[in-house]
Structure formats: C-alpha cells, structure tokens
A = this chain, B = another copy of it.
Amino acid sequence: MKKLLPFVLILIFKTSIAQNSDLLKYVNPLIGTEKMGHTYPGATAPFGAVQLSPDTDTIPYELNGRYNPDVYKYCAGYRYEDKTIVGFSHTHFSGTGHSDLGDFLVMPTVGALKMNPGIASNTATGFRSAFSHNNETAEAGYYKVKLDDYNIIAELTATTRVGIHQYSFPKSNDAHIILDLMSGIYNYDDKNTWIYVRVESPTRITGYRQTNGWARTRTVYFAMEFSKPFKSYGQKNFEDKQVYKGFWRKFNQNENFPEIAGKKLRMHFDFDTEEHEKILVKVALSPVSQTNALLNLQTEAPGWDFGKMKEQVQELWHKELSKIVIQASEEEKVNFYTAMYHTFINPTVYMDVNGEYKGLDQNIHKATGFTNYTTFSIWDTYRALHPFFNIIQPQRNNDMIHSMMAHYRQFSMRSLPVWSHYANENWCMSGYHSVSVVADAIIKGVYTGDAEEALNACIETSNKRKYEGIGDYIDKGYIPAEKSGTSVSNTLEYAYDDWAIAQLARKLGKQDIYETYMKRAGHWKQVLDKSIGFMRPRLTDGSFKKDFDLLSTHGQGFIEGNSWNYSFFVPHQPVELMQEMGGQKKFGAKLDTLFNMHLPDEFFAHTEDITREGIIGGYVHGNEPAHHVPYLYNTAGQPWKTQAQVRKILEMQYQPKPDGLGGNDDCGQMSAWYIFSSLGFYPLSPGSNIYSIGSPSVNNAVLHLPNNKTFGIEVKNQGKGNVYIQKMTLDGKLYTEYSITHEAIMNGGKLIFYMGSKPYKK
C-alpha cells in the first residue's frame, strides 16, 4: 500500500493536468495584445493582485513637455507588434484606455551590465532583448518567452499576490537580474515620489515605491526572494539633481549597500550560472507593508517548485473557466474562454492574506467578512461585467459591493467609486455608475450587506452638486452646454443611473425616493432635440446648440462617442425613447441607418480608442456607450435585426488572434458583452431583472450556477448563416418572449433555440 501511494498520486496529478488543459487550451492571452485590445499576455491568478507580464517598452508620457500620443498604445505594457522586451513587471491593467502601474520591472541578462533599457532598434544599447513570437507561449497563469539577446528562457506564473519568475540561464560568470524600480507604464519625471529598498539577505529584498500618477497617491510594497544567493549587487540612481540625503553620502551606496532610497533607482543582482541553470524569483506585493508582502509570499508561494505553482494557478483558472461549459467550433471556444479569462482578471484583489488593505483614507483597514477589491473601471463594467458576475460570480460581486461601500465610507468625499484604483479614486470617465452595480446586485439578491446604507450611499453619490454638472442637472434637468464639454452624455448617464437608484428604492419599499429618482430618470428627454430626433447639447437658455455635428466625437457634448451612438443611450426606458423618437417605425429606421451608414475617413483620424474595424456602419462597438444598441431592435419590434447584428458583431469584433479585439477590452466589459451575446441574451438595463434575447453563437452551453443548479442553452440548427431564431422553448415549453428574467436563469432549466437562415417575423 505504501509503495502504491506515490503512483496513485501521480495518476491523480496527471488526470488533473489533463482536465485542466481541456478548457485552458482555449485561453489565448495574446488575443487583444495587438492594435486596440490593450490586454496583456502575462501570468495572473483569477482576479489576482499581481499581473506579471512582459513590457515591450516603457515610453515616456511626455515628449518635449507635451503629451506623447504613443503612450496610449502601451496601456498594458506589451504590444504584439514590438520586437523587444524590456522586462517583466508585476502590475498591469487589462484592456484600459489610460494607464499606470508597471511596478517592479525585472529583467535577466547575461554579459556586460547595462542599467538602461536601451532602444528597440538596437538592443545592444541596453538591457532589453529581442524576442520572437515563435518562442513565446501564453496561457492562463503562465507565460514563457526566449530572450534572444541573452539566450535566456523566461517563464512566469503567479499566485493571487505573488509573481514567480523562472529564468533558465546559459553558462556565465556575468549573469544579472535587473530590478528596475523607476520604470512604469505611463512614465514621466516625478511620477515616483519615493522608492525604498532594503537588502535583507543575499536572497531577500523588501521595499516599496510610491507613485503619483493616474492614482494620485499610490504605494506598493514588495518582498522579493531569489532561489540562489546573488554574489554581488548594486544600484544606480538616475536623479538629474541629487536631492540632499544627509550623510548617506559617506557611503558608496552603489555597490553591495543594503539601504537604498530615492526617486529614480535601478538595481542589479549578479550571479554565476551553469548552462541551463534555473534561477527563480518570487515577488509578492502588498498595499499595506513590507511585512505583509513577506507574509503574502510565505503564505502563497513557499518553496521553489515552479511547475507546482504553475499547476496551482492553472487549477484555479480551470475552476473559473468551467463555470460555463460550451460546445462550439474550436475558434468560438477560443473566443469564448479567452473572453471568460478576460472577465475574470478585473477587478483585482486588494488585500493581504491577513485581510489588511489600505483604504481611501490612506489608513490601514482589515476586511472582515469580505475580500477587498480594487480596479473598478465602472463606466465600462457596470454594463455587462458586473451583471455577468451576478450570475456566475455572485460571491465575488458581493465582495465587490462591500469594497465599494468601504470606499464610500473611507473617502472624505463620501462617494461610491467612479474608478477605484489602489486606495485611490482616479475620477476617470463620467457618471456615477456604481449605483447601477449596487442596485443590480441588491435587486438580484447578491449583496449581503446593509441595503439601506447602500441606497443612502447611492443617493449621496448622486447629489454631489459640484461634480461634473450634477447641481445643474438636478436643478434644470440637464447640464447646460456652456458649462461642460460632455453635457449631453453626462445628462444621459445620470438619468440612467437615477433610474437604477429608483429601482433599488422600490425594491426597499422607499416610494418617495423611487418617485424622486424616477423623475430624474426621465431627464434624458431634456437633451433630446425632437425636431431632429437626436440628443443634442442644450444651452442655459433652453435652446439647442447650433453648428451641431451628429458624427463628431469632439466638442459636441459627448464623451467617447457621438450623437448617433449616444442618442440611443436610454437603456432604462427604450420604449419611451422610441415613442419620443417618433414611434416604432421611425425608431427602427434610425437603427438601420446607424448600422448601415458609411463613415467618412476623417472620422477615424480624430477618434481615439477605436479603429475602423471597431465600427459597423456608424455603430461603434469599440467603445461602450452603444453596447446595448443592437438589442434595441427588440424594442423596435424587429428582433431578427438584433439577432443579425449581434452575430455580426460577435464575428467581426472578436477574433481569435492578437489583433482580434475591435476596441479596448476595458477591464472585461468587451469580453462580458461577448459572453452574454454568444449565449443568446444581454442585460439591456442593469438594475432590472430582465435580459434581452439576441442570437447565440454557441452550439450548446451549460452554466454551472453558484446555487448548484444548471442553466442549459441548446442551439438547434446552429450555423454560420443560421443567425435567426425560429422558435424557443424553455424547459420544454414554447417560449415567445424576446427577453428572459434573472430568476428564470437562476432557477436552472434549459432554453432551446431553434435557428434558421431566414428572419422569423412572428
């Protein structure tokens, strides 16, 4: 028996690997790394605090004192088009259109020590290395690449709070591991306010860096361990002017000196290596302290078995991915599971293993009864990502609402997050869409906290009169165009958010609040110029702005969109919108025009975040404001056009290749749209319990719900041309609605779609 046991364990081990690779093989983290996706290919655990990924450049935010537009391309640190890697850093946003992070960039090298990254066109100028996609592997939780300049194989994996590097060196008595503490994504002078490093032993260093960037006051603590003692080490300080540091000048701080601090520092650790010798580096992060970083490291990543740590994180990924099992084409499976992967990256855990985290008040708090998260890109993710979590990740979404409430309580401004970012509010984008996330979660029974307190937080957030025209919006029903460059989109977004608050109030039996907010929910009518049938900037005197361009995205009163797209942004009252726009027929025709127009070339020249590929007619999928629009054909009484457009978008905007995403993935929102739509339904109005029916692209799907029930989707006669629903049955009974409730899904059951190549017009 004793002899048998190891063999049995090996069998179990092999079986679990085989099972994992079932779904894992469909995840391709390289999708979205070219052109507009802004995803990163490196290693992360589900919702992990560490995102360990290669950076192909660290270009400056400013050139000659002006914004460098190229920096935008490097939001995720990695560009598939690039030929060189500067190193592997530990924090990355997934799919954003603005950035930060890139903490603690590590790069292994061999030969003469170089302390600058050098230039891409000549890697000999610095520590960067050429690489080839032929020698690159990206999986969920694992990344591997050969660094051609050094003949080093770099492998990366991660736990929730620890990044693990494994570098296979050639034989050398001049091998180095560079730790670049000054570089970052969206880099500029003075971004680092302080860096501190302590060499505790020849295998351990700890420290922190504080930055002032997109997050105004952000500190990341770290603990770093090497599997082999370094034989020597040193630092280089790149400060233009040596800031006075008292009598530390007594020392040569550049060589083997264990106390290091400054604003612009890089370090190197030196080794002798044998051919193929593997050196592992583990880097744990903490929002609280070096002590906690070390605790995270020792708790999550003891030992030096890289393969085991890789296996553990891939087990976690498999568990997450297998919450929905689909049958579909191989290509579709890659799209689907890569989308699942991208939806389970953000928000990120922002808490140490002992429950401590830094709050918005910059104090240390202990999360009791929940996991604290950050990286809430809510303008994007309230639309489909958080609704998706309410179905498949309710525990995490519950924790995210708890995190938002902690943000609200700790923040001197007493508001729910707009963009929660490492104990900071970065105020990116518009609206107060946290109220939608909160309302949706409470209405769907997901939030376990104090619902009344949450409603009050929503109300307080929606009444910040000084924030982006809210005072005018409350007083006049709209934001005058003279006072804001985004007066129309803000008015529209507030109106939707207010509707979400109203729904929450109704759920809690607060009739007066419901009525107040339902009035505000109708404010979208204030910016609808019925004479032209479009949303339009309105002046203080009540008149509409003259010289108005329906297509332009600049100076017309909208953010990340034009009037053509934003005029449909009444996700909460589509029927009323249709009526105001002249009824079902006119509304349908207007949707037709949107999807079929031909945009002039100059439109693209001045629009960020999207490419021609991100657009269908005039419908912009690459940005979020119109994500619900294809589903409005259901409102217009032409569900077959919803079905056709959804399938067209699924096919055009999501392709299983590095440049396959038609726009920024935006912390999973684009991917969440994919998952919903490929399954055949979409949350048109988060805050209601109703999903709108589209056209599924899978052949079959089983949702393993957290209540241990399953909801099945079966698609009969699926095929590329068969995008039109001919018939549906729910649990064997004919189903004639083009919508389905949250309860129907969560109760389990089976929805069967019968597809055909011709529209079924009732």
Contacts and interface: CB of A to CB of B under 8 A. Distances in A.
Nearest to A259: B412
A362 B243 contact: no
A246 interface: yes
B216 A361 contact: no
B246 A216 contact: yes
A7 interface: no
Nearest to A258: B412
Given A244-B188, A261-B217, A208 B362 contact: yes
A247 B419 CA distance: 10
Given A243-B212, A246-B215, A198 B361 contact: yes
Given A194-B210, A244-B188, A258-B413, A251 B362 contact: no
Which secondary structure dominates where chain A touches chain B? Answer: loop
Contact of A194 (B193, B245, B261): B193
A208 B210 CA distance: 14
Contacts of A248: 216, 427
B291 A243 contact: no
Contact of A212 (B217, B241, B245, B425): B245
A146 B87 CA distance: 61
A196 interface: yes
A363 interface: yes
B61 A363 contact: no
Interface string A34-71: 00000000000000000000000000010000000000
Contacts of A80: none
A243 B214 CA distance: 11
B247 A428 contact: yes
Given A291-B364, A362-B290, A246 B426 contact: yes
Contacts of A259: 411-413, 425
A426 B245 CA distance: 9
A596 to B, nearest CB: 36
Contact of A261 (B216, B250, B361, B411): B216
Contacts of A241: 190
A245 B61 CA distance: 13
Count copies of this chain in the complex.
2
Contact of A290 (B216, B261, B361): B361
A2 interface: no
Interface in A233-289: 241, 243-248, 250-252, 258-259, 261, 263, 289
A652 interface: no
Interface string A668-696: 00000000000000000000000000000
A213 interface: yes
Contact of A247 (B61, B212, B427): B427
Interface residues of A, number: 50
Contacts of A467: 250-251
A136 interface: no
A466 interface: yes
A200 interface: yes
Given A200-B412, A412-B198, A412-B200, A427 B246 contact: yes
Interface string A562-573: 000000000000
A199 interface: yes
Contacts of A200: 412
Interface in A10-48: none
A740 to B, nearest CB: 38
Contacts of A515: none
A241 B190 CA distance: 10
Interface in A162-215: 188, 190-191, 193-194, 196, 198-200, 206, 208, 210, 212-215
A468 interface: yes
Contacts of A193: 193-194, 210, 263
Given A194-B212, A244-B61, A427 B250 contact: yes
Interface string A592-607: 0000000000000000
B261 A245 contact: no
B412 A362 contact: no
A206 B359 CA distance: 14
B412 A199 contact: yes
Contact of A217 (B194, B290, B425): B194
A214 B291 CA distance: 26
Interface string A644-671: 0000000000000000000000000000
Contacts of A212: 194, 243-245, 261
Given A212-B194, A466-B251, A364 B427 contact: no
Nearest to A198: B412
Contact of A289 (B291, B364, B426): B364
Given A196-B362, A290-B361, A466-B251, A246 B214 contact: yes
A290 B363 contact: yes
**Residue among A61, A212, A290 with most chain B CB within 10 A:** A212
Contacts of A250: 427, 467-468
Interface string A511-540: 000000000000000000000000000000
**Residue among A198, A215, A426 with most chain B CB within 10 A:** A198
A193 B243 CA distance: 11
A408 to B, nearest CB: 14
A549 B426 CA distance: 63
Contacts of A206: 361
Contacts of A199: 412
B198 A362 contact: yes
A216 B251 CA distance: 14
A215 B468 CA distance: 42
A217 B193 CA distance: 11
A411 B259 CA distance: 8
A134 B191 CA distance: 49
Given A193-B263, A198-B412, A290-B361, 18 more contacts: A191-B244, A193-B194, A194-B194, A194-B210, A206-B361, A208-B362, A212-B245, A214-B246, A214-B247, A216-B248, A246-B426, A246-B428, A248-B427, A251-B467, A252-B466, A289-B363, A290-B363, A291-B364
Top 10 nearest A-B pairs (CB, nearest first) are A247-B427, A258-B412, A214-B246, A193-B194, A198-B412, A246-B426, A291-B363, A190-B243, A216-B245, A193-B193
Interface of A: 61, 188, 190-191, 193-194, 196, 198-200, 206, 208, 210, 212-217, 241, 243-248, 250-252, 258-259, 261, 263, 289-291, 361-364, 411-413, 425-428, 466-468
28 contacts: A188-B244, A190-B243, A191-B244, A193-B210, A193-B263, A196-B362, A199-B412, A206-B361, A208-B362, A210-B210, A212-B245, A213-B244, A214-B246, A214-B247, A215-B246, A216-B245, A217-B261, A246-B428, A247-B426, A247-B427, A250-B427, A250-B467, A251-B466, A258-B412, A258-B413, A259-B412, A289-B363, A289-B364
